[in-house]
Amino acid sequence: MMDAVDRRLIAHLHGGFPIAECPYAAIGAALGLTEAEVLERLARLLEAGVLSRFGPLYDAERMGGALTLAAMAVPEERFDWVAETVNAHPEVAHNYARAHAFNMWFVVATERPQRRAEVLAEIAEETGLEVLDLPKEAEYFLELRLAP
Question: Which residues make Cβ contacts (< 8 Å) with residue 141, sequence separation at least 6?
Answer: none
The pTM of the full predicted model, rounded to 2 decimals, is: 0.68
Q: What is the pLDDT of residue 118?
A: 97
Answer whether residue 87 is part of any domain.
yes
Percent of the chain with pLDDT over 70: 97
Same-domain check for residues 88 and 115: yes
Query: Per the domain annotation, does 124 fall within a domain?
Result: yes
pLDDT per position as a tens digit, 136-146 = 898 887 777 76
82: Cα within 13 Å, side-chain hemisphere: 24
State which residues form the domain around 16. 4-48
CB-facing half-sphere around the CA of 22: CA atoms within 13 A: 10
Average of pLDDT values for 96-118? 95
| 143 occurs within a structural domain | no
3 state SS of 56? coil
Indicate whether 70 and 129 sit together in one domain: yes
Residue 147 resides in a domain: no
For the cut 70, the answer to whether the pLDDT of residue 76 exceeds it is yes
Structural domain count of the chain: 2
Cβ contact 105:95 at 8 Å? yes
- Rounded CA-CA distance 95/138 in Å is 21
Do 129 and 71 lie in one domain? The reply is yes
Residues 70 and 130 in one domain: yes
